[in-house]
Structure 1
Amino acid sequence: MKLVTYSDKSVLLGDEAADYLVRFAAFIADKGRAEAISLNVIASDGELIVTSFVLGAGISLMAESTLSPLPEPENGEGVEYMNEKMEMLTAPSRAVSASEPWPADDGLGDVL
């Protein structure tokens, strides 16, 4: 379990989710992007709550280890989302060759 500090609030988050959150925050900032992610956390009063983190350049985020005996909140979906998003933004975009036809409808109509 890790104590995650964001702005002036601290919450408890499972080790894997906290590690991914810090890695994801650094990744998003490096890409010059912003992203919001909601995760299950344990508040300072011990209540299980959902917290939304806005990540991007200039956002202060820290995770530190704790000796908390509380069970880690479930965040499999959040970890999976962060992992998939990093993979998607890392993968090279697919180039379209000149011989491939344009898509039938690009949603722009006759604007261009």
Structure 2
Amino acid sequence: MKHVTYADKALFLDDESADWLMEYARALGVAGMTDSISLHAIGLDGNEVDVTFLLNSNTELVTQTTQNSLSAPRNDEVVGYMQEQTRLIMSPPPARMADDPFDLH
């Protein structure tokens, strides 16, 4: 589990979610793009929360390891989305010629 600080708020995320949140934020910043990501986390009070992060080139995000014994909820679907989007940003597919709209054959 990792301790994540964003916009003066602190939460706990599972390692994979925290790592990919940071990586996706970095990729978006490099590309000058923006996205919002909603994740399940644990607040400092120990309760499960849903949190939405606005990610862009100005995002200030800190992740650090923790020895907390809580079990953070998983975010497998969102992690998959961040992985795919990061891959597309960092290694976009090659450009293709558009189909000729005047070709009637």
Distance 1:95 1:24 in 2: 26
**CA deviation vs aligned residue, 1:73-95 (integer Å, no higher than 9, x gap):** 11101100101111222223432
Distance 1:103 1:84 in 2: 34
Q: How does 1:50-65 map to 2 (within 5 A)?
A: 50-65=50-65
Q: Does 1:101 align with 2:68?
A: no
Partner of 1:81: 81
Q: How does 1:10-21 map to 2 (within 5 A)?
A: 10-21=10-21
Which runs of 5 or more residues in structure 1 are unaligned? Answer: 105-112
Q: Does 1:92 align with 2:93?
A: yes
Q: Does 1:31 align with 2:31?
A: yes
One-letter code aligned to 2:61: L
Aligned residue-pair number: 102
The two structures have a TM-score, normalised by structure 2, of 0.89
Distance 2:101 2:92 in 1: 22
**CA deviation vs aligned residue, 1:11-67 (integer Å, no higher than 9, x gap):** 000001100001111110000001100000001111111100000111100000000
Distance 1:19 1:102 in 2: 44
Cα 1:94–1:51 shift into 2, 3 Å: same
- 4+ residue stretches of structure 1 with deviation over 6 A? none
Q: CA deviation at 1:102?
A: 2.5
Q: What is the CA RMSD across the aligned residues, in angstroms?
A: 1.8
Which runs of 5 or more residues in structure 2 are unaligned? Answer: none
Partner of 1:110: none
Distance 1:22 1:84 in 2: 14
- Structure 2 residue matching 1:50: 3-state secondary structure: strand
Distance 2:63 2:35 in 1: 18
The two structures have a TM-score, normalised by structure 1, of 0.84
Partner of 1:22: 22
